[in-house]
Amino acid sequence: MPVNYATPAADQLFPVAGVRLGVAEAEIRKKNRRDLTLVALDTGCTVAGVFTQNRFCAAPVQLCRNHLAAGKGIRALVINTGIANAGTGEPGRQAAQATCDAVGELLGIGADQVLPFSTGVILEPLPVDRLVAGLPAAKANLNADNWHAAAHAIMTTDTIAKAASRNATVNGKKVTISGISKGAGMIKPNMATMLGFVATDAGIAQPLLDQLVKEAADASFNCITVDGDTSTNDSFVMIASGQSGVTIADETDAGWAEIKAAMIAVAVELAQAIVRDGEGATKFITVAVEGGKDAEECRKVGYAIGHSPLVKTAFFASDPNLGRILAAIGYAGIADLDVDGVKVWLDDVMVAENGGRAAAYKEADGARVMAQAEITVRVDLGRGAAKAKVYTCDFSYDYVKINADYRS
């Protein structure tokens, strides 16, 4: 079960003017499940994305990069679950292209105006015939208020659908932001995320949106880790339709700060939902690192703690074996770190200072915090003013079971 997270009700996921979503059962891998999502965008939408840095990036990721770079104006997204179309070589690229061709023909747009996304099992061929056969049903289902259905249709090992919405008043006009994400395993920060899609009816100039999607990823999806594995298919896309009447052409324009903050807040909520639904997770952990010389070294420490199987299994067991946290800080890659200046807390309980155990620390206090469903590990490096956060979860027996049975 996810840690303190529930999918918002359908009526709490607000339509975004200019964006319609449709889902269908295409039997990509399994019968009787929604596994195909089509997103149709009105003319005039701006679209930006960031993608995995895994060198074995999937065929659809390659096409997404090419189609965004072509600058023809993206008019549709197509997402399938079940098969990742990764590690499939030239046949995989042909399958992704055939998918775009079919969507283009169905909607009367260019194939290079389509962004394809796949998620699921790697090394298996994408059944393009079944995908294409499911597209008419997805088109017939297109609707602006289908965010709830789409959140369910992009799931793989997720136990719960992940979605978020915000309404904001900007320059006296209502602006809506809605988004969905999927992911529960093979989660490690590396440029983007598993699959994440955020749309707004504000108008945002292309250069600003290109900048915003990177900033939002760095503040959200690039701050999460479940198991330290970087997916071949990670993609995070932002869409701005411009139909609210609010248009931002430059970062000095009135309302930009509010829109930017709201877009990032939705991305953070979606990213945290992935960790809360981490495969087998029973605890949600925030690693807050401060006192660094720069944000990068703070992130190094956060990732070292968040990736550590020894730390994560200790959290699962509610075992305050806190030397594992100190060890992770020590191997994080800060060559000139003075460990005598490092302080560590579990929530408000100081556990380490002056190079060792805090004088006032009692193991009963550590055990009390470790038993909570939500825990903050705070680290002060004592060498500057920079800070960063990483979100992670524990490792349970179920993580092994889920991944041992992934293809069955």
Q: 182 CB contacts (<8 Å, ≥6 apart)? A: 81, 119, 151, 154, 155, 156, 158, 162, 194, 195, 196, 274
- Per-residue pLDDT, 1: 73
Q: How many CB atoms lie within 10 A of CB 320?
A: 24
What's the Cα-to-Cα distance from 100 to each of 21, 53, 392, rounded to whole Å? 16, 23, 35
pTM for the full model? 0.91
Residue 324 main-chain phi, psi, to 5 deg = -65, -35
Task: Say how far apart CA 270 and CA 59 lie, in whole Å.
Answer: 25
**Closest CA relative to residue 291, chosen from 390, 382, 377:** 382
Q: Token digits for 65?
A: 């990069």
Which helix H or strand E contains 373, and what residues bound it? Answer: none
Eight-state DSSP code of residue 109? S
pLDDT tens string 41-72: 999 999 999 988 777 788 999 999 999 999 99
247: which strand partners? Answer: 203
Domain 284-404 class? alpha beta
- The three-class DSSP label of residue 134 is helix
Structural contact between residues 119 and 81, judged by C-beta atoms closer than 8 angstroms: yes
| Residue for token pair 């930017």 | 260
Structural contact between residues 3 and 374, judged by C-beta atoms closer than 8 angstroms: yes
Task: Say how far apart CA 303 and CA 228 lie, in whole Å.
Answer: 9
Task: Say how far apart CA 359 and CA 187 lie, in whole Å.
Answer: 37
Q: How many CB atoms lie within 10 A of CB 360?
A: 10
What mean pLDDT is reported for the chain? Answer: 92
pLDDT tens for the chain, 408 residues long, are: 789 999 999 999 999 999 999 999 999 999 999 999 999 999 999 999 998 877 778 899 999 999 999 999 999 999 999 999 988 999 999 999 999 999 999 999 999 999 999 998 888 999 999 999 999 999 999 999 999 999 999 998 788 999 999 999 998 999 999 999 998 654 454 433 479 999 999 999 999 999 999 999 989 988 887 655 555 678 899 999 999 999 999 999 999 999 999 999 999 999 999 989 877 789 999 999 999 999 999 999 999 999 899 999 999 999 999 999 999 999 999 999 999 999 999 999 999 999 999 999 999 999 999 999 999 999 999 999 999 999 999 988 887 776 676 565
Q: Token digits for 366?
A: 């550590």
Domain locations in the chain? 10-276, 284-404
**Closest CA relative to residue 227, chosen from 177, 183, 162:** 183
- Per-residue pLDDT, 406: 56
Active site residue 176: no
Sign of the CA dihedral with 138 first, then 139, 145, and 150 last:
positive
DSSP 304-364: HHHH-HHHHHHHHTT---THHHHHHHHTSS-TT--GGG-EEEETTEEEEETTEE-TT--HH
What's the Cα-to-Cα distance from 23 to each of 35, 145, 163, 203, rounded to whole Å? 7, 12, 15, 26
Q: Token digits for 101?
A: 């061709």
- Give the angle subtended at the CA of 232 by the CAs of 228 and 237, to the nearest 5°: 100
Task: Say how far apart CA 284 and CA 2 lie, in whole Å.
Answer: 9
pLDDT tens string 117-132: 999 888 899 999 999 9
**CA neighbours closer than 13 Å in the CB half-sphere of residue 58:** 33
The residue from 99, 193, 225, 286 that is catalytic is 193
Please name the fold of domain 10-276. Answer: L-amino peptidase D-ALA esterase/amidase (3.60.70)
